[in-house]
């Protein structure tokens, strides 16, 4: 090792994620899903997309975000990443889709910075995606963050526990899954 080698910084191919807010891990449990962002919580029926509002991809809720970082709503394995969306399988078996925006797949990853990859294990509250809300708006897409339980049929109920049309903080329990 040369004299100046110890002063060189390691270059990472992955973007560095922001720190996890302490409040996010406080309300996570095996069958409670936390808000992945702070903002206004809405019923799934109010998402401006028939696939989500019709609960085709599962029951849950959505949040109109105030911030630009999307956090893991549960602890578990990342099963898929698509730039604008992340699929998770919680440690208790709940399959969760966190989807940013409506028709944002058209953006082909522009406006999104991923902090996780397939196979990673995340803890509730870990940063998963940074979003550029102005770029999403410029592309003409709503930026609501959908939180859907994709294996809803395996449970007795999936219920939005947050009061609709009210503010929620990232990390607050917003959906309860019952066996």
Q: Catalytic residue numbers?
A: 99
The residue among 148, 177, 176, 162 whose CA lies nearest residue 38 is 162
Sheet holding 166-168, edge to edge: 121-122, 76-81, 85-90, 95-100, 145-149, 59-65, 39-43, 166-168
The residue among 65, 63, 76, 62 whose CA lies nearest residue 29 is 76
Sheet holding 173-178, edge to edge: 32-34, 173-178, 157-160
Q: Distance between CA atoms of 98 and 69, rounded to whole angstroms?
A: 12
Measure CA 18 to chain center.
Answer: 15
């Amino acid at each position: 090792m040369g004299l100046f080698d110890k002063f060189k910084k390691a270059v990472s191919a992955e973007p560095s994620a922001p720190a996890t807010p302490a409040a996010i891990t406080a309300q996570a449990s095996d069958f409670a899903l936390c808000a992945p962002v702070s903002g206004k919580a809405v019923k799934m029926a109010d998402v401006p997309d028939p696939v989500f509002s019709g609960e085709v991809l599962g029951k849950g809720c959505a949040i109109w975000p105030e911030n630009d970082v999307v956090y893991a709503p549960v602890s578990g394995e990342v099963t898929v990443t698509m730039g604008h969306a992340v699929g998770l399988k919680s440690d208790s078996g709940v399959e969760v889709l966190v989807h940013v925006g409506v028709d944002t797949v058209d953006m082909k990853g522009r406006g999104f910075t991923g902090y996780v990859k397939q196979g990673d294990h995340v803890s509730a509250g870990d940063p998963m995606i940074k979003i550029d809300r102005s770029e999403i708006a410029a592309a003409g897409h709503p930026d609501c963050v959908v939180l859907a339980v994709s294996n809803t049929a395996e449970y007795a109920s999936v219920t939005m526990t947050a009061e609709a049309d009210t503010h929620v903080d990232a990390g607050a329990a917003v959906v309860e899954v019952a066996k």
